[in-house]
Structure 1
Amino acid sequence: MSYTMPARMELGEVKLKVSDLQRSLQFYQEVVGLKVLHQEERVALLTVDGVNPLVILEEIPNAVVVPRQSAAGLYHFAILLPSREALGLALRNLMEAEVSLGQADHLVSEALYIWDPDMNGIEIYRDRPREEWTYDASRNVVMASDPIDWEDLLKEAEGKAWAGLPVGTKMGHVHFHARDIYKMKEFYCDVMGFDIAANALKEMGALFISAGGYHHHIGLNIWAGANAPLPPANGTGLAYYTIQLPTQDDVEGLVERLRNHGVSIDERDGAWYGQDPSAITFRLVLQDS
């Protein structure tokens, strides 16, 4: 029987492995705009709303910084802002911080790209309304990488103070370097039940998948090369990302389905953990748990 990922599924917290917690804390607070929710010696939980973690940082002993596009795993995680004004404020803050900054108008969204001190990729973006999205003859959502209108976006921030990421900010999507993109497609679409939102394998070696008609919750690419190596155990990068499911039946049903397909799933602290074919760890939880 086929399985479809629930349309109300959302992404939750990501956990990152870093080499210097204090350096990363300064970056994520002053540059990205997150706040510390809880901190221990080697771990810090960062939040937007003061209640729920959005990013968790863990300092790894003897960490090796993994160069960009050199291994399977995280390409970037993407923080979705609730308004264009919030994106304009973020852009102004990033420019004032003088960090290396990429940008793109994807038609469905406007996006800014930065990297943390350990080369973990970060996208900060806002979506255009769904009624403005367009589709091709194959029902792929049409996306592009056009330049953003810098001046117009900065006008959104004129006369307003930046106070970090606003309430309503959430994890929008994650994007991975795949070892074998066809095995990843089979896993995420045929087993986990995501839909293909845009197939750009021929054009750019990338695939975008989602639930509920979103432009993408997960991006997959082969930009680190076919059969890209796995990062070292003490390498910086993604420890896990989180899929939030709307009901307990959804959680239990997906866990059973994964196990039936030979995926090893372990329960820890009320969440279920497994790995995809590129050894990327995912975490399944009940929404608002």
Structure 2
Amino acid sequence: MEKKFFQKPTTYVGEVNINVSNIIHSLDFYQRVFGFKILEQTERKVILSADGERPLLTLEQPEDVMPKKGRTTGLYHFAILLPTRADLASFLKHLIQTEGHSLRLGASDHDVSEALYFDDPDGNGIEVACDRSSSKWGWNEGIVTMGTTALDANDLLAETDQAWEGIPNDTVMGHIHLHVADLDETETFYVNGLGFDIVTRYHGALFASTGGYHHHLGLNVWNGVGAPPAAENSVGLNWFTLVFADHMTRDKQMKQLGEIGANVIEEDDYYVVNDPAGNTIRFVVEE
């Protein structure tokens, strides 16, 4: 993992907040699988961290929580990005040893990264990945080559004999991948409003980043063009943060969002807005 893609002047995803149906069961899952540290905990909310300082993932159990419904906008998956390939190898061994056949596990080689895929107990999608060196990424006129082929699990497992000792301190939120309702509106919002670059296009999907990363955002209409947002008390995404380098950069992008018609609301120390599909974003400044 190259830190330059997750620090100023790059704009990147910092924290993801999701709804779950049972906070106790979900906390057990995320601690058992990842070994997250708890920053704060109440009866219905737990803030989780890799390094014990920065929030990375927050779990909330709403009143009258509803199960996740299909064919809506919202979370496709969030991506936990591990610092090294050896970390991913240790994590895969840990999953095999501790979770066995209880998880439906997918695995892909994306050229720019290697990734494992599974769901939490509520069906919230999770990717756990490690990046290849950016010197090995293929670019052509601003478009990065990202494939989807089978991961060579045996080669990955041979990377290290080290046991998984909990999520490494340098772990970051690599990206978030969202279900959206309309790709043209979505592109206008994230490119014209927020200054992201489209770095590749797939059928029904866009991938966007800043700072030359392979992607900080995935955006797809695979749940159907015009899909409605999920209910506020539904399992799934509550909000995620985009982290800006400084107040001046953030204020510039908030102004541009207003110019394209987005409703930007100022809170105590952050701005909040819904994208055209109803996905809620909080805009914060790097500390």
TM-score range relative to shorter protein = over 0.9
Structure 1 residue 7, shift from structure 2 partner: 4.7
CA–CA separation in structure 2 for the residues paired with 1:65 and 1:31: 22
Q: Does the aligned pair in 2 maintain the 1:77–1:173 contact within 8 Å?
A: yes
The letter for the 2-side match of 1:281 is: T
CA–CA separation in structure 1 for the residues paired with 2:34 and 2:95: 8
| Root mean square deviation, CA, Å | 1.4
Q: Does the aligned pair in 2 maintain the 1:76–1:175 contact within 8 Å?
A: yes
Within the candidate set 124, 144, 156, 2:128 is matched to 124
Q: Deviations over 1:57-87 (max 9, x none)?
A: 11012211214x5211110011111100110
Structure 1 residue 177, shift from structure 2 partner: 0.8
Aligned to 1:55: 57
Per the alignment, in what secondary structure is the counterpart of residue 104 of structure 2?
A: coil
Structure 1 range deviating more: 217-226 or 91-100: 91-100
Within the candidate set 2, 6, 13, 1:11 is matched to 13
CA–CA separation in structure 1 for the residues paired with 2:145 and 2:241: 26
Structure 1 residue 94, shift from structure 2 partner: 1.7
Q: Deviations over 1:175-201 (max 9, x none)?
A: 01111111101111111111110022x
Structure 2 stretches lacking a partner, 5+ long: 1-7
Aligned to 2:108: 104
1:85-104 equivalent positions in 2, closer than 5 A: 85-96=86-97, 97-98=99-100, 99-104=103-108
TM-score in terms of structure 1 length: 0.92
Per the alignment, in what secondary structure is the counterpart of residue 125 of structure 1?
A: strand
Structure 1 range deviating more: 138-147 or 22-31: 138-147
Aligned to 1:145: 148
Structure 1 range deviating more: 16-25 or 250-259: 250-259
Aligned to 2:181: 179
Aligned to 2:158: 155
Q: Deviations over 1:217-255 (max 9, x none)?
A: 111111101111221222111110111111111122222
CA–CA separation in structure 2 for the residues paired with 1:267 and 1:94: 41
CA–CA separation in structure 2 for the residues paired with 1:269 and 1:11: 20
Structure 1 residue 142, shift from structure 2 partner: 0.7
Structure 1 residue 90, shift from structure 2 partner: 1.1
